[in-house]
Chains A and B, each alone.
Chain A
Amino acid sequence: MNSHYATSQGLHLNYSLILDMIEDGSRVLDLGCGNGYLLKLLKDKKKIKGNGIEIDQNGVIQCLEKGLSVIQGDIDEGLKQFTDKSYDYVILNQTLQSTYNPDFVLEEMLRVGKKCIVSFPNFAYWKIRFNFFFTGNMPKSQVLPFEWFNTPNIHLLTIKDFFDFAKKHNINILDVIYTTEANIKKGMFYNIFSNLLAEEAIFVIAKS
């Protein structure tokens, strides 16, 4: 499902940031692993043991061609085949906003993974606000290139929304990275500026 997200410089930045978060030899589950690019990178660079789940047949075939283990499936149906805390990391990269039941998907991830990495485009990013304010149309950007009628991104959210959600559901936020096209900013806490200035956020979360 990574294909739902425009391939841009930002995406490659995002891959390398995720790569840095994961310890060598970890067990990793990549939800919505797309063509397997990130999983392959993790396998080559971090010697992880891992699987991907991907809904699209072509994505699955591309993963197999890369020598990855991949299950064709819909993460909205849950992760019932996985036992509790069976992975060191469960990754949901740029996919949360295109799931039907984001709350259920997050709950399942947190059950299966000791830690979870969730990244999503921030809908409160100033350019998006600006765009919406002045044009009155559904905002589009480099990372959200779709029209309202064909976008797979049906549950767009902001960084503030995610902090609120985490608080309400007792989810521990272990780390956050805010990214813009050019900058990376690390910080654990929400402030009004990160919600305004970050184009994308990567959260590391856990639930005991």
Chain B
Amino acid sequence: MTVEEIKKDIVKTEFYTINKKIKFESGVEFGPITVAYETYGKLNEKGDNAILIVHALTGDAHAAGYHSEDDKKPGWWDTLIGKNKAFDTNKYFVICTNILGGCSGTTGPSSINPETGKPYGIDFPVFTIEDTVKVQKEVLDFLGVKSLYTVAGGSMGGMQAMQFVISYPEMVKSAILIATTSRLSPQSIAFNAVGRNAIISDPNWNNGDYYDKENKPDRGLSSARMIGHITYLCEEAMYNKFGRKLQNKDHYDFNFDIDFQVESYLQHQGQIFVDRFDANSYLYITKAVDYFDPVSKYGSLKNAFQESNAKYLVISFDSDWLFPSSESKEIVNTLMQLGKDVSYCEIKSPCGHDAFLLEYDVQSKIIKSFLNDHIKGDNNE
């Protein structure tokens, strides 16, 4: 290891306010919108070495580096973003924004509505993945990014990456779509619905108006997170992680307290989640994910991708049952039929859907090769 690698890369979340109204897919015009974002590396003079990283359901703009020297945890995709990593910040200008409607700096239901001086709550307009991409485009324009060398994301991030190519085909040179789908299966919508139901059924949710109340819909939100978490793991991952092991005991207690390690783990995940996430944001963002369906919107997936000349890399994980490989293959097959340049890899992993955050070794190799080739290709032109 070099000295440089040991030293923590300190990064800062920045904010940009779009001082105009943006027209949402629903027809509503909404603004102003403040967007939290982070950037790593330097934008070149031509403005064409930018990479947009798009986060998943509960992610944020802090994709890489540390916020301070004492910071224990780096950004959520720090294994892949940084100097000499897959998204090499020596070469590329990497941008990550917090999603519209989120609760980590970007305007969302917990933000103050300037007209009322109170949080929006459920007065916040329902938005779609297309709207979230529109907002990101505004940030890229502000930063002087002329074209995207690549747009990359896993899960919901993959949907946004896809939508970015569809909405701005002329701007994107390549897209990396990981553990994602072109539209949610009824099973996935069902899980989101149960999560939302848990929040809405919590009396503390109070029709979305809870920000100034002492009790927040924490139980609902943590249940939603627990359900979500089950879908991010898989049977094998759960066996490996917990088996049927008991939590700090060697016998059943014959009551309804926590017996099993898996129960304790889920409860813990639920509890830490309520400290960093807003229940209303969860409702809005899962809804945007459920609505995402370029197949119906454009008539077919083929029509949706028609205009793009981007190069694609699609990655799925064999143990991911939330967005299984078959759904990635559908995207790949469509792109092949259109004669687009596409590569596809199904990574073997025991980690389920979460693998896109964990399997950095193989992903690094694949992404690095894909991006490097891309450079060679450009030089040939």
Question: Chain A residues in contact with chain B, CB under 8 A?
Answer: 51, 57, 60-61, 63-65, 67-73, 80-83, 86
- Is A71's CB under 8 angstroms from B344's CB? yes
In the complex, what distance in Å separates the CA atom of A117 from the CA atom of B167? 40
Please tell me which one of the listed residues A60, A68, A83 contacts residue B345 in the complex, with CB atoms under 8 A apart.
Answer: A60
- Is B332's CB under 8 angstroms from A81's CB? yes
Residue of A nearest to B336 (CB): A81
Stretch at the interface among B93-101, B243-251, B362-370: B362-370
Stretch at the interface among B11-19, B116-124, B223-231, B372-380: B372-380
Please tell me which one of the listed residues A68, A73, A83 contacts residue B337 in the complex, with CB atoms under 8 A apart.
Answer: A83
With A82-B336, A83-B337 as known contacts, state yes or no: A73 contacts B344, CB within 8 Å.
yes
In the complex, what distance in Å separates the CA atom of A57 from the CA atom of B376? 23
In the assembled complex, the CB of A77 is this many whole angstroms from the nearest CB of chain B, namely 10
Residues of A within 8 A of B332 (CB): 71, 81
Residues of B within 8 A of A63 (CB): 343
Q: Is B346's CB within 8 Å of the partner chain A?
A: yes
Q: Is B348's CB within 8 Å of the partner chain A?
A: yes
In the complex, what distance in Å separates the CA atom of A82 from the CA atom of B336? 7
Q: Is B341's CB within 8 Å of the partner chain A?
A: yes
Q: Is B342's CB within 8 Å of the partner chain A?
A: yes
Residues of A within 8 A of B329 (CB): 73
Please tell me which one of the listed residues A61, A69, A71, A83 contacts residue B365 in the complex, with CB atoms under 8 A apart.
Answer: A61
Residues of B within 8 A of A82 (CB): 336-337
In the assembled complex, the CB of A93 is this many whole angstroms from the nearest CB of chain B, namely 20
- Is A57's CB under 8 angstroms from B345's CB? yes
Residues of A within 8 A of B347 (CB): 57
Q: Is B261's CB within 8 Å of the partner chain A?
A: no
Residues of B within 8 A of A80 (CB): 333
In the assembled complex, the CB of A150 is this many whole angstroms from the nearest CB of chain B, namely 21
Please tell me which one of the listed residues A64, A81, A86 contacts residue B373 in the complex, with CB atoms under 8 A apart.
Answer: A64
Residues of B within 8 A of A60 (CB): 343, 345, 366
Q: What are 15 inter-chain pairs, A to B, with CB distance below 8 A?
A: A57-B348, A60-B366, A61-B369, A64-B345, A65-B365, A65-B369, A67-B369, A67-B372, A68-B343, A69-B342, A70-B343, A70-B344, A73-B344, A81-B332, A81-B337
Contacts A51-B336, A61-B362 given; 20 further ones with Cβ under 8 A? A57-B347, A57-B348, A60-B343, A60-B345, A60-B366, A61-B345, A61-B365, A64-B343, A64-B365, A64-B370, A64-B373, A65-B365, A65-B369, A67-B373, A68-B373, A70-B343, A71-B336, A71-B343, A81-B333, A81-B334
In the complex, what distance in Å separates the CA atom of A68 from the CA atom of B341? 10
With A64-B343, A71-B344 as known contacts, state yes or no: A57 contacts B369, CB within 8 Å.
no
Residues of A within 8 A of B336 (CB): 51, 71, 81-82
- Is A72's CB under 8 angstroms from B344's CB? yes
In the assembled complex, the CB of B173 is this many whole angstroms from the nearest CB of chain A, namely 15
Residues of A within 8 A of B365 (CB): 61, 64-65
Most buried by A among B334, B344, B347, B362: B344
Please tell me which one of the listed residues B333, B337, B346, B372 contacts residue A57 in the complex, with CB atoms under 8 A apart.
Answer: B346
In the complex, what distance in Å separates the CA atom of A69 from the CA atom of B369? 11
- Is A61's CB under 8 angstroms from B344's CB? no
In the assembled complex, the CB of B306 is this many whole angstroms from the nearest CB of chain A, namely 15
Most buried by B among A65, A67, A71, A86: A71
With A80-B333, A82-B336 as known contacts, state yes or no: A67 contacts B343, CB within 8 Å.
no
